[in-house]
Structure 1
Amino acid sequence: MIFLKKAQEMDKKYIYQHIYEEIKENILNGRLKPGEKLPPKRTLAEHLNVSINSVMNAYEQLLAEGYIYTVERKGYFVEKITQFINVGNTNKPLLADDLKESIHDKDGWLSLSHMNSNISLFPFKEWMKCQQKAIENHKSELSEIIHPQGPYIVRKTISRLIYLNRGVVCEPEQVVFGAGTMSLIQQLMGMQDKNSIVAMECPGYSRLYHLLKSMEFDVHPIHLDDKGINIQEIEKSNVNFVFVTPSHQFPTGKIMPISRRIELLNWAAVSENRFIVEDDYDSEYKYETDNIPSLQSLDRNQRVIYLGTFSKTMLPGMRISYMVLPPDLLRKYRLHYSNFIQPCNTLNLFTLHYFIENGDYNRHLKRMNNHYETNRKILIKELNNRFGENIKIEDVPAGLHFLAHFKTDKSYEEIVNLANKEKLEVYTIKRFMYDKPYYQDGWVSLVIGFANIQANKIAEAIDRLHRILYKKEK
């Protein structure tokens, strides 16, 4: 009789699981040999003082997984199983220390991050109503694999929205949904010739820079002048893709004037393989004046690929972004991604459709514009009052962040370390440079976000920032 614990020795989880686990272990460690017959179910049940059903369930599970086999009218037998190969130290921990994660304790932290948005004012009640409407009206679509670019009805809604809000001219067929801007760019560049040469603003979006480098593209950092990306540097380089953030340059906040926009469009127009990728990531937020039309709205030659996202206006965790492709690239996209499965949550896409159609989205956007404008003004006033002549703010009334330069003897590395000690989330310009520091000679530059800090916490955040930049270490 094989050695197994009796019922009274087993803990209270399902008895058949204990029988299954112990027989499996005996097979794997060689105590039960290939071809060896297992006891009949009734015999083993009586021996273990358990029900026949418990033994039968254990045998059936072992049979399903291939540990045993059955011969009609003869019973159950041990299967011949290939033995594991043990390589290296089998006693080492499952996960090395450098791979382990710890939960970030946010208690007591304040945020001046450019990456966050405020969800405390999000109209969840209205969103849930739209979600219920989506469930009622789209049961069949929710049970299917949808169009690779996203449901047509939602793409139609988006094309109308960005025409009214951003001047983007496109048909619903040109819209492609994706789970974040980075995934859309990965798709876009994944269908390009690997010999393509890419230009990026410097300073700029470091995640994008590293993505393109990992895809083995030749990436040229192009510096900025007072109008944005330097057109002379672009013309001197042999690039054919230019990534820009013209409505609110990331991270400097510069707004590209019409003269530079036309220069950029003219650069693209003279060659068939030149394209501009316009990342319009937080263009919905413009204070004191009307929104500035998108670069795509000026494009007469179908050379602009437009990227937008709902991460800044709604919920970052929702992961809904979209891309508008010129017709020639759309044809290429459909050939390249004919078997692609749309990554966005279908229910969220239909919910977004009704959220926009009902007017809830524009009402929320207007409310958040007012809220962020108030926060921005309070923050800039507090910074100027506290730092005086030791601060220079790039005061562009747009977006959810601005660039500020501080006179200090602290290095960028010291600032990062001290910010962690002070529990203040803030980012330096060094994070967004690819080749050289942005400012030197006793000045540092910080990207100051104001979306996820309460107005009554701004003064405390500025106090912490002041200590970071000027407090002497003991």
Structure 2
Amino acid sequence: MFILIDKQRDSDYIYQQIYEGIKENILTGKLKAKEKLPSKRSLAEQLNVSINSVSFGYEQLLAEGYIYSIERSGYFVENITKFIEQEKHWIQKLPRELKEGPVDRDGWLSLSHMASDTSLFPFKEWLKCQEKAIKSYKRELSEMSYSQGPYVVRETICRMIALTRGVKCEPEQIIIGAGTQLLVGQLMEMNSKGTVVAIENPGYVRFYQLLKKMNLTVHPVSLDDQGINMTEIESVKADVVFVTPSHQFPTGKIMPISRRIELLNWAAQRENRYIVEDDYDSEFKYGTDNIPSLQSLDRNQRVIYMGTFSKTVLPGLRISYMVLPPELVGEYREHYSNFIQYSNSLMLFTLQFFIESGEYARHVKRMNHQYDTRRKLLIAELQQRFREEIDIEDVSAGLHFLAHFHTGKGYQEIEESALRSKLEIYSMRRFMLKKSVNYENRISLVLGFANLREENVAGAVERLYDVFH
């Protein structure tokens, strides 16, 4: 049988050695099609192993189709189709540039706008809510979740955003998804092929690339001192406009009421015009009350509101939601009648109890104070170190701000120098969707502070200073 058994290995795995040995003999042609295999007792004696080990090995081969059995006759080799032998130049390993390994973050400092501080997250309270979710929703956890997400979770989110963002909706209008990108993809898939989209420039490059890959006509629209340029929106004949009015990404500007009304009036002037409001970090506002959502001002049901828990809870949970106008809810349900909810049901029910217990609101309040302290400290350190070499657009909102550095160096040189210094930064050229950035003696960086500990602020600024000098 050409099988070697290594009895030094765990005896529980002897049957696997029998299985592997016979399989290899079949695939290499040492055992021919329709050839009879030894009986279980005979092979057990040959190999000096238990009959059970041989039996388990045969059963696995039978289940996978390598052998077949005939009652009272025994086991036989199946007639298996031969593998096609490719020429050597077709047989390739994964290219080196596609290889992955563990990310080495040792010694790095981050000024990323994407990161948040999970060290202060109330995991103990979250786990209590998770335990409560398990006890309360055992039946629901054994079933497929409704495509829009569990109703009770949507009901909780509905009450919360009415209080915190002024969003006017019913739970039936809320769609929960595993990230805002997924929801945007679902939303735009419902639109006709001729839909024209306008998106802020600079703006969120992931949305821009997603919309382009969906073969939609996408126009990057520039900003003026009040936000997205209304003249350009009209000129490109947009049907859908993507905006971040509460904290423009990445410049941080807050859209004033006059431009908000202009935008809402534009949408109301024609059928099938919609505004997608990405309210990605509106929970963080310092010094004054939160800016009300654009949706709260909408009198004509033309705003599609997007919210996320990635900035406030844990990014890895991937919980976002969108609020559809009533006229789009039926269309969504028809279009996605067979859709299975991507989000983890246990995490959604845990989030429900986390919000209802008041822990979510307390956590956001704590983090507002913490992030405001870091923001002020980072700005003070930057101004002290760079002096007249820096201009900061200090908007008291969100988890990042825009800083302009006077320098003769180019973007690539700065980015490569930061990489060598183990300093994570993102420059403005990453967010320019169409036109290139101005290189004339000025570099603009989007500086995040959420994942920068207070004791590391001075060190991060010093590294940044070295990058520019």
Q: What is the TM-score normalised by the length of structure 1?
A: 0.97
- How far did residue 89 of structure 1 move? 2.1
> How far apart, in 1, do the equivalents of 2:151 and 2:331 lie?
19
Using the alignment, how far apart are the partners of 2:85 and 2:326 within structure 1?
55
Kindly state the Cα deviation for residue 9 of structure 1 after the two structures are TM-superposed: 8.1
- Partner residue of 1:296? 295
Tell me the residue number matched to 1:272.
271
Q: Which segments of structure 1 move beyond 4 Å, counting only runs of 4 or more?
A: 6-13, 90-93
**Matches of 1:56 and 1:420, distance apart in 2:** 58
1:26 matched residue in structure 2: 25
8 A Cα contact 1:202 1:224, kept in partner: yes
Q: What are the equivalent positions in structure 2 for 1:215-294 lying under 5 Å apart?
A: 215-294=214-293
The structural deviation recorded for 1:356 is 0.8
AA aligned opposite 2:277: E
Per-residue CA distance 1:372-420 (angstroms, 9 max, x = gap): 0000000001111111111111111100000000011111111111111
Distance, in Å, in 2 between the alignment partners of 1:245 and 1:87 is 53
1:442 correspondence with 2:412: no
The answer to whether the Cα contact below 8 Å between 2:390 and 2:406 also exists between their aligned partners in 1 is: yes
Partner Cα separation in structure 2 for residue 345 and residue 357 of structure 1: 19
Partner of 1:42: 41
Q: Secondary structure at the match of 1:199?
A: strand
**Residue number in structure 2 paired with 1:469:** 468
Which structure 2 residues correspond to residues 249-398 of structure 1 after superposition, within 5 A? 249-398=248-397
Q: How does 1:396-411 map to 2 (within 5 A)?
A: 396-411=395-410
Cross-structure match for 1:125: 124
Mind listing any 5+ residue stretches in structure 2 that lack a counterpart? none
The alpha carbon displacement at 1:88 in A equals: 3.4
**How many residues are treated as equivalent by the alignment?**
469
Change (3 A) 1:386 1:38: same
1:194 alignment counterpart: 193
Tell me the equivalent position of 2:146.
147
Q: How does 1:71-150 map to 2 (within 5 A)?
A: 71-89=70-88, 92=91, 94-150=93-149
Q: Which one is further off, 41-50 or 301-310?
A: 41-50
**Counterparts of 1:368 and 1:382, CA distance in 2:** 21
CA distance in 1, matches of 2:465, 2:208: 31
- Deviation per CA, 1:254-291: give whole Å up to 9, x if none: 10000000000011001111100000000011111111
Cα 1:10–1:352 change in 2 (3 A) is closer
Is contact 2:5–2:17 with CA below 8 Å preserved after alignment? no
Once the two structures are overlaid, the 10-residue window that deviates more, 104-113 or 6-15, is: 6-15
User: Which residue is 1:175 aligned to?
Assistant: 174
* Amino acid of the structure 1 residue aligned with 2:182: S
Report the residue type matching 1:168 in the other structure: V
Q: Secondary structure at the match of 1:14?
A: helix
Counterpart for residue 16 of structure 1: 15
- Which one-letter code corresponds to 1:59 in the other structure? Y
d(CA) in 2 for partners of 1:85 and 1:364? 60
8 A Cα contact 2:129 2:354, kept in partner: yes
Tell me, in whole angstroms, the C-alpha distance in 2 between the residues paired with 1:102 and 1:53.
41
Contact 1:355–1:361, Cα closer than 8 Å, also in 2? yes
Query: Tell me, what secondary structure is at the counterpart of 1:17?
Result: helix
Displacement of 1:52 = 1.2
Alpha-carbon distance between aligned partners in 1 of 2:159 and 2:339, rounded to the nearest angstrom: 25
Verify the 8 A CA contact 1:439 1:445 in the aligned structure 2: no
Alpha-carbon contact 1:240-1:273 (below 8 Å) kept = yes
The CA deviation string for residues 128-154 of structure 1, in whole angstroms up to 9 with x for no partner, is: 111111111111111111211111111
Aligned equivalents of 1:94 and 1:437: distance in 2?
38
The Cα of 1:99 is off from its aligned counterpart by: 1.5
